[in-house]
Chains A and B, each alone.
Chain A
Amino acid sequence: MSTDTAHSDVQQFHPRVRSALENPQIRSNFRSAMDGLMGKRQAAFEDWELETLRDLGAAVRLRALSRLPELLVQLETNCQLQGIRVHWAETGDQACEIIRDICKARDARRVIKGKSMVSEEMELNHFLEAEGIEALESDLGEYIVQLAEETPSHIIMPAIHKNTDEISDLMHEKTGTERSRDVGYLTASARQQLRDKFMQADVGISGVNFAVAETGTLCLVENEGNGRLTTTVPPCHIAVTGIEKVVEHLEDVAPLLALLTRSATGQHITTYFNMISGPRKADEKDGPEEVHLVLVDSGRSSIYQDQELLDTLRCIRCGACMNHCPVYARVGGHAYGTTYPGPIGKILMPHLLGLENTRDLPSASTLCGACGEVCPVRIPIPKLLQRLRKESVDGDRLRPSVVPGHGVKRTLKEQASWNGYRWLASDPGRYRLAGWMMTRFRALTPRNVGPWTRYRTAPRPAAKTLHQLMAARRREEQS
């Protein structure tokens, strides 16, 4: 299942879901991976500290968001003081162009990339390749996904949809690596091939996990060391991030980091944690000559306008919501057709692509609440899904709404059925009469009620409603 350009076929949610559900390999790859991740997360938190940390994490993110505009200015100033050049991009395309221009100015042909979901969001690799610039992913998962010409199926583990055999076959076919089930061997082989690329790269591009306004520090969390190589070996480093990643103080990073790694992979700490504070100084032996920071808006400032939807921007991209999502565990990341899959994708992507392009996402949830229960920064995901459902059917399309495409699902049929429900349930007499008729004519209950009975029997009305039973009891008592 290749979702090459994620955006173009985002409408095909149902067909993709069906094909994912019919694919036993996908089902078992995701199920076992998600079970493992849930177990690891649980083991990583001491009971007593989890809820306290989540309170702290949510508070830190809320505080940062409440001052977002001024923090961004502060971040820019402090980055510039340290020699980091700061660029602002309103759209993903603009961000791509900025990065291209930086590359062109250095006559750069080869780019090595660390993991960055924002760069996926703006489809940077395609853009650069069309401009004659080679962009190679260096995160192992991203590397595999790139070899397969696919998109990530998980925001933390991009190649989680593939098992070892599939990866071995892929590497054999694309790079000539000998087939093996030995993960260590496959990793070593990929590392070997990437090492040379790091040395040859003209530019390194990375994401950012936290950008500290007070100090102008860019924090990068990773396990493979590829992030450190990407940001230190090539002569030019470009960090690209969404504008919401800013935090106020350096101390704010501690709880967020503790939450991020535990929630994501159950690690107490990752193998690498990079704090980038500018290009190489005169007396330093290594590091890039140039460091750039590209701050991408791409719909975020419009989310910021709304007091409730704003919570979407708290996200620290840990992936815990998808790991715990019963829908994601069954259909996998590609079924969503969006850069960010799972619960966070369902609440974020409608803003980035418009509800008209993500119409099936807000409803693709039972509102079971598993995501909200684990989110390290307490994003009320079910509540936001509910809000987006409301936006999808909210009448007046001419009324300005911060959610693009609002009202797109307000069909006459849908409206008519809820008006019918209102007609029946807002009048007790009418409701009781309907109940009486249902029980009276229960033999006539249809056996077939649409999609429900495709997989289940239809419920049968009782012989007497609870209203009738309770009324009869009353009469008995009184007589």
Chain B
Amino acid sequence: MTDTIKLYPAKPAKVYFYGTCLVDLFYPDAGLAGVQLLEREGIDVLFPQDQTCCGQPAFSSGFNDQARDVVVPQLDLFPGDWPIVVPAGSCGGMMRKHYPELFAGTPWQAKAEALASRVFELTDFLLNVCHIRLEDRGEPVRVAMHTSCSARREMGVGDIGPTLLAQLQQVEVVEQARATECCGFGGTFAVRHPEVSEAMVADKTTAIEEAGADTFLATDCGCMMNIAGYAEKQQRSLKGQHIASFLWQRVGGDA
């Protein structure tokens, strides 16, 4: 009954990269950094141009028909038997955990299940498949880490970010209060229940600031948009960065 144990493949020659719509439209540098980190490991990264959105917004609002219609054409975008790497725990969780549910009992079930089993969250893939080694080329810096709830609880990668950051000698990761608590994003939750969402993101922002960091790293752009957007609206100095962008910069990649 406990979650099935994740099996990691040997480091492949190629991977597919699923950028996610949020990264695509708002934070492409995070996606590009992810691609470059994978290439740095000697992996050939394939980016199917016909990818759009993973369907999660509709799915988590209860509109499964719409979600399926968005996903179906994309099920054929990854024909080779390569892993599919996603720079987001929540879209990764949608693909890995929820596609089998969404397509259960439909003609696409087998295809969806096969795809789901090949999906990996980016940092997990870098650490546990690529066994990445990072040499820190940056200045000393203090950061906080915010792992999304779906990265932590759906993808089970809660301790990967901190483990990767521990390889960087000049980076100090501060301990924040209630680090595992949700930032209040929750997709449409933030607009359906704006007041509760605000109360949550306010606490998260304060916890990070009080820990003594003026930059936080996120596994997911949704959380980042929420926390950094809140700090900006409040004219606070806290900045957010996707962990892929940060890692790429630290190893000397161009931003």
Q: Inside 8 A of A438's CB, which chain B residues have their CB?
A: 25
Q: Inside 8 A of B53's CB, which chain A residues have their CB?
A: 421, 425, 431
CB within 8 Å for A426 and B229 given contacts A462-B28, A466-B24, A470-B35: no
A436 to B143 Cα, complex, angstroms: 33
Interface members, chain B 147-200 (any A CB < 8 Å): 149-150, 152-154, 180-182, 184-200
Interface members, chain A 329-357 (any B CB < 8 Å): 330-331
A123 to B227 Cα, complex, angstroms: 42
CB within 8 Å for A366 and B189 given contacts A21-B195, A421-B58, A426-B70: yes
User: Judging by beta carbons under 8 Å apart, are B1 and A393 in contact?
Assistant: no
Pick from A366, A421, A462, A466: contact of B184, CB below 8 A.
Answer: A366
CB within 8 Å for A55 and B194 given contacts A366-B185, A435-B25, A456-B226: no
User: Judging by beta carbons under 8 Å apart, are A393 and B61 in contact?
Assistant: yes
A152 to B193 Cα, complex, angstroms: 24
Interface-located stretch among A67-75, A92-100, A257-265, A383-391 = A383-391
* A83, CB-defined interface residue at 8 Å: no
Q: Inside 8 A of B101's CB, which chain A residues have their CB?
A: 383
A388 to B21 Cα, complex, angstroms: 26
User: Judging by beta carbons under 8 Å apart, are A369 and B150 in contact?
Assistant: yes
Q: Inside 8 A of A369's CB, which chain B residues have their CB?
A: 149-150, 152-154
* A81, CB-defined interface residue at 8 Å: no
* A461, CB-defined interface residue at 8 Å: yes
* B109, CB-defined interface residue at 8 Å: no
Q: Distance (Å) between the CB of A119 and the closest chain B CB?
A: 30
In the complex formed, the residue of A with least CB distance to B180 is A370
Q: Distance (Å) between the CB of A155 and the closest chain B CB?
A: 20
Q: Inside 8 A of B154's CB, which chain A residues have their CB?
A: 369
A464 to B32 Cα, complex, angstroms: 11
* B27, CB-defined interface residue at 8 Å: yes
Q: Inside 8 A of A389's CB, which chain B residues have their CB?
A: 60-62
Q: Inside 8 A of B73's CB, which chain A residues have their CB?
A: 426-428
CB within 8 Å for A460 and B26 given contacts A326-B184, A431-B52, A466-B32: yes
* B64, CB-defined interface residue at 8 Å: yes
* A134, CB-defined interface residue at 8 Å: no
Q: Distance (Å) between the CB of A168 and the closest chain B CB?
A: 28
Dominant SS among interface residues on chain A:
helix
* B212, CB-defined interface residue at 8 Å: no
In the complex formed, the residue of B with least CB distance to A369 is B153
A450 to B197 Cα, complex, angstroms: 14
Interface bits B38-66 vs A (CB < 8 Å: 1, else 0): 00000000010111110101111111101
Q: Inside 8 A of B55's CB, which chain A residues have their CB?
A: 425
In the complex formed, the residue of B with least CB distance to A409 is B62
Q: Inside 8 A of B189's CB, which chain A residues have their CB?
A: 363-367
* B135, CB-defined interface residue at 8 Å: no
Interface bits A52-64 vs B (CB < 8 Å: 1, else 0): 0011001100000
Additional A-B contact list (6), CB under 8 Å, known A372-B153, A425-B55: A363-B61, A366-B185, A366-B200, A383-B101, A457-B233, A469-B28
Residues of A bordering B, CB below 8 Å: 14, 17-18, 21, 51, 54-55, 58-59, 326-327, 330-331, 360, 363-370, 372-373, 378, 383, 386, 389-394, 414-415, 418-419, 421-422, 424-428, 431-432, 435, 438-439, 450-462, 464-471
A–B complex contacts, Cβ < 8 Å, 30 sampled:
A17-B193, A21-B195, A59-B1, A326-B182, A330-B196, A360-B193, A363-B193, A364-B196, A365-B186, A366-B200, A367-B60, A367-B186, A369-B150, A378-B1, A390-B62, A390-B64, A393-B61, A415-B63, A422-B66, A422-B69, A426-B69, A426-B73, A435-B25, A451-B190, A452-B191, A455-B194, A460-B26, A462-B27, A464-B28, A465-B24
